[in-house]
Amino acid sequence: MSFGILEFLKSLIDLTVFDYMRGVWGDQRFVEPVLDLIGALVVSTFCLLIVIFLIWLERKVIARMQDRIGPNRVGGKFGLLQTVADVLKLLSKEMITPAAADWWPYNLAPLLIVIASLLMWAVLPFAPGVLGVDLNIGLFYVLAVSSISVVSLLLAGWGSNNKYALLGAYRSIAQLVSYEVPMILSLLVPILLASSMSTIDIINAQTVPFILVVPISALIFFISALAETGRTPFDLLEADSEIVAGFHIEYGGMKFGMFFLAEFIGTLFMSGLFATVYLGGYRLFGLEEFVTGGGWALGRLLGLVVFFIKMFAVYFVFIWVRGTLPRFRIDQMLNFNWKFLVPLTLALVLMVAVVEKLPFMASLGDVSRAGVHLFANLLLGLVTLEILRRFARKQRMAQEEKLAARAAVNSGSEPGNLAPEAVAAH
């Protein structure tokens, strides 16, 4: 096959350009490495550029939610170039390594975290046939890479030689490590339903998107994704008002920018992963297989659009949560994980496994099976809510009893010390 500029442009729009170039170059040794190189460059550049947009989006949306205007000076009425200006500012700042810091851990940490956040994208399918590599251990690869970023945080906290930084690092590790447990457990459910860890297989298994099959798993994954990316309400590892930004307090200029960059890339990746695993990725009523006349196969392009809409919808929910909820305390954060999320997810995995193996399930079609799972999930949700309500009532009553006892003691032994109204107001 010879090279034609028109066919090349057409394959660009079809997103089949790699297949086209394979056809043109034929079976030569350099073809795959070169195509991989191009693909890696495209993905990395996309990640770096989209962050500029994401930061602007977040500031704008949060501002609107808080009844402010947000950036509106640089780059026209909507402040579109505000982040570009910020990036330039960060780039032109002095690189400081504090005198007391440990040079290698301190400077290695931002590099490691950026590398880890970029590496995760390799297994995320953007459109049919458009992904880095379809591994049969896809989701597990994501977990392995994200465990590297934990080490990076610890290095940053320790290397900075600062009390706030170290305290922030401890909190970060406790949080990231704890929430990794419900995250992997909740991902076990889609893995189980699809019988595969490959992202492509999981998308193919979603005749009904998994969010409608196992909504509890989706909810738990979303909550642990919030915690893993350190976003509100789980931002106690940065907690500007207590430990002034936590583990990256000693980082300035572009080194701080790299932590910021990794955080945004990580959040967008989690949105993309949620869209892939629970919302069916690029699939939407068979739109991704759309073919028009004249040899145009626009399915891939449509799939890409569908995926991006889903991904950004999830991302918007991330911002929404940030605009709505206050911050957890560390004991609340850990209790919520170990005493609520982990037992609930364990119960969920067991339940899904048992339901999947019910004798009549084998004879049912995809949609009816999804219905049975959905029913079981809702049942589990109701039971959980009921247990929570009983627990809350017990706690409230214990609290009231304690207050009543204190009021009795106060009015008995120290009369006149506290007015009865003041006690009642407790």
Partner 1 sequence: MENQILVDYLPLAVLLLIAVIIAVIIPVLSLNLGPKRPTARKQAPYESGMTPIGEAQRRFPVKFYRIAVLFILFDVDIILLVPWAVSFRELGYYGLVAMLIFMAVFIIGDVWVWKKGILEWE
Partner 2 sequence: MGNPILFLILAAVAVIAAVMMVRSRNAIYSALFLVLNFVTIAVLYLILNAPFIAMVQITVYAGAIMVLFLFVIMLLGAEKLQGFEESSKGQLWIAAFLAVVLIATFAVALIQGDPSSSGAVAGLDSSPSNLGLHLFKAYVFPFELTGVLLLAAMIGVVVLSRNSAKRGKDA
Phi-psi region of 196 (alpha: psi -120 to 50; beta: other; left: phi over 0): beta
Contact partner at residue 144 from partner 1, partner 2, none, CB < 5 to 8 Å by partner kind: partner 2
Yes or no: say if 303 and 127 are a contact pair by the CB < 8 Å rule: yes
CB of 197 to partner 2, least distance (A): 6
Comparing CB distances to partner 2, the nearer of 35 and 192 is 192
The tokens describing 325, both together, are: 């909820």
CB of 160 to partner 2, least distance (A): 12
What is the maximum alpha-carbon separation in the chain?
A: 99
Q: Is 133 in the site for partner 2 (CB under 8 A)?
A: no
Mask for 185-214, x = binds partner 2 (CB under 8 A) = ----------xxx-----------------
Which residues between 112 and 141 bind partner 1 (CB under 8 A)?
112, 114-115, 118-119, 121-122, 132-133, 135, 140
Contact partner at residue 343 from partner 2, partner 1, none, CB < 5 to 8 Å by partner kind: partner 1
Which residues between 88 and 127 bind partner 2 (CB under 8 A)?
102, 104-105, 108
CB of 84 to partner 2, least distance (A): 35
CB of 150 to partner 2, least distance (A): 6
Among the listed residues 21, 31, 143, 219, the single contact to partner 2 using CB under 8 A? 143
The tokens describing 235, both together, are: 């931002």
Comparing CB distances to partner 2, the nearer of 227 and 297 is 227
Q: Is 158 in the site for partner 2 (CB under 8 A)?
A: yes
CB of 213 to partner 2, least distance (A): 21
Q: Is 27 in the site for partner 1 (CB under 8 A)?
A: no
Give the single-character DSSP code of 360. T
Contact partner at residue 155 from partner 1, partner 2, none, CB < 5 to 8 Å by partner kind: partner 2
CB of 271 to partner 1, least distance (A): 20
Among the listed residues 7, 85, 107, 384, the single contact to partner 1 using CB under 8 A? 107
Give the binding range for partner 2 (CB under 8 A) out of 81-89, 158-166, 262-270, 287-295. 158-166
Among the listed residues 9, 42, 49, 177, the single contact to partner 2 using CB under 8 A? 177
CB of 110 to partner 2, least distance (A): 15
Angstrom CA distances, 420 to 289, 402, 405, 410, 424, stand at 74, 16, 13, 9, 6
Among the listed residues 8, 103, 104, 338, the single contact to partner 1 using CB under 8 A? 338
Q: Is 137 in the site for partner 2 (CB under 8 A)?
A: yes
Among the listed residues 27, 67, 94, 421, the single contact to partner 1 using CB under 8 A? 94
Residues forming contacts to partner 2 in the complex (CB under 8 A) are: 102, 104-105, 108, 135-137, 140-141, 143-145, 147-148, 150-151, 154-155, 158-159, 166, 173, 177, 195-197
